[in-house]
Amino acid sequence: MSASAEPSIFSRIVAREIPATILAETERVIAIADIAPKAPVHILVVPKTEQYANVTELAAGDPGLLAEVVAVSNQLAAEHSDGDFRLIFNSGPGAGQTVFHVHAHVLAWPGGASEEG
């Protein structure tokens, strides 16, 4: 658990305390549909541990787990789109991070490129 006493929203999803559309799950990672999608495919790939607040901490603390997040992201982009995807880790409030339990945003546009380029 992070410094705060309360489990994160993602830990509560892992514990099935609150509902989510679960798209993949391994021993160490869960993937869910984002509740407020910003692209036709918007999936969150989340290490089950909330020990790491952001990708920098994850990379330093457990690079194998980071590699698993990337591998699951790649697999989901193949399943839900044409295999091309954008992988985003917001890191810090100034970058828009709102949940301080590391997670990757997988964004994909089946059949077409993002308008943002």
Residues known to be catalytic: 103
Binding mask 76-95 for ligand 5GP (x = CB under 6 A): --------------x-----
- Applying CB under 6 A, among 6, 16, 98, 116 the residue interacting with ligand 5GP is 98
Q: Is 99 in the site for ligand 5GP (CB under 6 A)?
A: yes
Q: Which residue has the tokens 């909330």?
A: 50
Q: Is 35 in the site for ligand 5GP (CB under 6 A)?
A: yes
Per the DSSP assignment, residues forming a β-bridge with 25 are 30
What is the CB neighbour count within 10 angstroms for residue 88? 16
100 CB-near residues (< 8 Å, 6+ apart): 2, 8, 53, 54
Q: Is 9 in the site for ligand 5GP (CB under 6 A)?
A: yes
Q: Considering beta carbons, is residue 4 or 98 the nearer one to ligand 5GP?
A: 98
Whole-angstrom distance, CA of residue 55 vs CA of residue 12: 20
- Nearest-approach distance from CB 55 to ligand 5GP, in angstroms: 10
Whether residue 77 contacts residue 108, with contact meaning beta carbons closer than 8 Å, is answered with yes
Q: Is 32 in the site for ligand 5GP (CB under 6 A)?
A: yes
